[in-house]
Structure 1
Amino acid sequence: MKPAGSIGIASASMWLPEERSRSAEEVESRRLRARDARSLEHEALPVARNIAAPEMAVLAAREALEAAGTGAGRLDALCHAWMYYQGHDLWSPAHYIAHEIRAHRAVPFGIQQVCNGGAAAVELMAAYLATPDVSGLGRSKWGMVTTADRFIEPGFARWTSDYGVAYGDGSTAVLLRSPAGPGDRLRLLAAATVAAPELESMHRGADPFAPAPRTHREKVDMRATKRAYLHERGDQRFSEVNERSIHAVTDTVLRDAGVGPHDPRLRYAVLPRFGMKLLNENWIPVLSECVSAKIENFGQDTGHLGAGDALANLADLMKADLLAPGEMALVFSAGAGFTWSCLLVEAVGGPAAR
């Protein structure tokens, strides 16, 4: 998707708690196997002990607004994406976040696309903002995307609930506007998403449908559902679809933006925040075939942030001033379902986000 109008990214923020769960301590206590710790290559993961996921999203949203020097009253829409439990059984965290930051004229939306939620929300928000302004006032349209996840006991084991991925707690926020303004740090040139719904059973396994969460097991156990899938179908199918999908989102986003895969302005291809073994096997070789850009991993100190990887990577790109004006980056995301997304952003100057 190439936005119908110019979409500016005015700011991006990532909020992380101070407490850390350390892999060495997990190995010593025998909650994590040493070989799994070596394959993940995360020394520590952020832990939110006394703050709920939507409360973290509020903090990231406030930081993004402050960084952009604007108020929440200007927001036309707010999308909140998440992967895991948000603190209440039947409730809209998006409305809570909008209320807490005083975005009272914004329409709140919840985006539930598991790990790919943040990237999907940015793409949907860009389409929403690019619709014609029928007010006749010619004003800018503003939208915010937030994510937040908290992977704590008793329902989730951040180091061992999944294969090849360890989960960190944190939140993100990105502030977008249309048309892009002179103070924006980045511009969204294009976004692309592809899906493979035939892989949905990888996170369903052989389990029957249940009447309530965690009916089958005390903890979320993606390893169990993946084992059931692999026992029935093997891993070749997923490997083929994953490779094809990474190629597809990369080729599509570059084509839509009119950018070549070896354009010298294309500086970075930023990875999802998965464990290093998984990245080395399933992502880095494929991306090396697609583009000449430097492949970058910002997730060593955070682990996988649930729905927030893509937004966290935007925040890190901006905070570190990695792109000079006119330079571009590909920001990748993927999640259960399966769905793959890629955002192509270009630096245009302005103050760095927090």
Structure 2
Amino acid sequence: MRWGDVYVRSCAVVLGDREPVEAAVAAGRYDPAVREAHGYESIAVAGPICAADMAVDAARVAIARSAVDPADIALFVHAYVDEQGPEGISEPASYVQGMAHDGRARAFGLRQGCNGALAALEVGAMYVSAGGAAVLTSADKYARECDRYREDQGGVPGDGATAMVLGRGDGVARLLATEIVGDGRFSGLTALDPGRFADRQEYRQAQRKRVMSMMRTMTEARRDCVRAALADAGVEAGDIRHWLLPYSGRFLVDRDFCAEFGIEDERTTWGLGRTVGHFISGGDSFVGLTHLLETGAVEAGDRVVMLGDSTGFSFGCAVLEILTKPSWQVGD
């Protein structure tokens, strides 16, 4: 989807304190072989603050940085996955809007897993195109019964929140294009009924066949998503200066995908990602963009790609062009 008058006015991030992963390994919480394969150095772990309040803090900073008149803010979109808090709050999007914004605005909650923040970006761009400004937030805080280091063999969840203000007319970056690709055909993968099969071996073979088919579909969908966004933006992969990938562990990186688009580690923000972990509401690329802008690591004219990937069933891509270095650089 091509955009003509949608700009990133500002963005902000709130992160938990860095917890060294070696401490988790020493405590028997994190398998050293998995740690070695994925390459994390530390994970952002928040204290007693709830996820929604981190989003409120990030939104307040982003709104202040944007210089947007609060009366012009027409929309809040909050992407999330797990419990947001505070206790008794059933509509976290409305809570974030009410606490961060002195006025009225539409407030929508969006749950699309690790593609949530990218999906919120596309929804926000639609509203901005119709007039007004939009605030996009995402928030994560690990609060499940199992240990964050043992939940799965993929990315270790980090705690934090992101915020972005979109508007018309001007900004630090122009949104060139977005693309969302959804494919839910394999959402029932784990629901195969063993009773349908003659024996356990036949059941396992059927499961393996479905997994392999799903993996091929995931690869195709991710590539189609990026190709479509680049085409709509009128750029090629070689024109992209920064690729903001999900902060999944190194073991999960699709090397063929990176080779196709010429994505090298130095053109990503993995150096930051390995210190904060993976944000399951899809905020990884927003953390990366904020880092690039705050540290002055981008120049006017740089093209940036943001990517999201939700459990293989939803993929997002956004292409931006940096227009200027912001006044709110904060150093390294």
TM, length-normalised to structure 2: 0.87
Number of aligned residues: 314
User: Structure 2 CA distance, aligned partners of 1:339 and 1:7?
Assistant: 23
Matches within 5 A, 1:99-110: 99-110=98-109
| Structure 2: 5+ residue stretches without partners | 194-203
In the alignment, is the contact (CA less than 8 A) between 1:11 and 1:185 conserved in 2?
A: yes
User: Structure 2 CA distance, aligned partners of 1:57 and 1:235?
Assistant: 36
User: Structure 2 CA distance, aligned partners of 1:37 and 1:258?
Assistant: 39
142, 150, 160: which one aligns with 2:141: 150
Instruction: Give how far 1:201 is off.
Output: 3.2
Identity %: 26
User: Structure 2 CA distance, aligned partners of 1:340 and 1:200?
Assistant: 14
Instruction: Give how far 1:85 is off.
Output: 1.4
Listed one character per residue, the Cα deviations across residues 231-275 of structure 1 (whole Å, up to 9, x for unaligned) are 454642233122212211111011111112323xx2122211111
- Say whether residues 1:237 and 2:208 are aligned partners: no
> Paired residue for 1:290?
261
In the alignment, is the contact (CA less than 8 A) between 1:79 and 1:144 conserved in 2?
A: yes
User: Structure 1 CA distance, aligned partners of 2:139 and 2:236?
Assistant: 34
User: Structure 2 CA distance, aligned partners of 1:99 and 1:238?
Assistant: 41
> Paired residue for 2:301?
326
User: Structure 1 CA distance, aligned partners of 2:13 and 2:291?
Assistant: 8
| Structure 1: 5+ residue stretches without partners | 134-140, 208-227
- Say whether residues 1:276 and 2:267 are aligned partners: no
Pick closer, same or farther for the CA change 1:157–1:206 going to 2, 3 Å.
farther
Pick closer, same or farther for the CA change 1:13–1:42 going to 2, 3 Å.
same
> Paired residue for 1:343?
318
> Paired residue for 2:230?
254
User: Structure 2 CA distance, aligned partners of 1:241 and 1:109?
Assistant: 30
Instruction: Give how far 1:22 is off.
Output: 2.8
Instruction: Give how far 1:295 is off.
Output: 3.9
User: Structure 2 CA distance, aligned partners of 1:240 and 1:147?
Assistant: 29
User: Structure 2 CA distance, aligned partners of 1:229 and 1:336?
Assistant: 22
Root-mean-square deviation (CA, aligned residues, Å) is 2.3
User: Structure 2 CA distance, aligned partners of 1:318 and 1:121?
Assistant: 20
- Say whether residues 1:306 and 2:280 are aligned partners: yes
Pick closer, same or farther for the CA change 1:2–1:274 going to 2, 3 Å.
same
TM, length-normalised to structure 1: 0.82
Matches within 5 A, 1:203-218: none
User: Structure 2 CA distance, aligned partners of 1:114 and 1:242?
Assistant: 15
Listed one character per residue, the Cα deviations across residues 174-211 of structure 1 (whole Å, up to 9, x for unaligned) are 00002x32xx1111100011112023235x5569xxxx
Structure 2 residue matching 1:165: 3-state secondary structure: coil
Pick closer, same or farther for the CA change 1:8–1:229 going to 2, 3 Å.
farther
Structure with the higher helix share, 1 or 2: 2
Matches within 5 A, 1:16-95: 16-18=15-17, 20-87=18-85, 88=87, 91-95=90-94
User: Structure 1 CA distance, aligned partners of 2:205 and 2:76?
Assistant: 36
> Paired residue for 1:197?
184
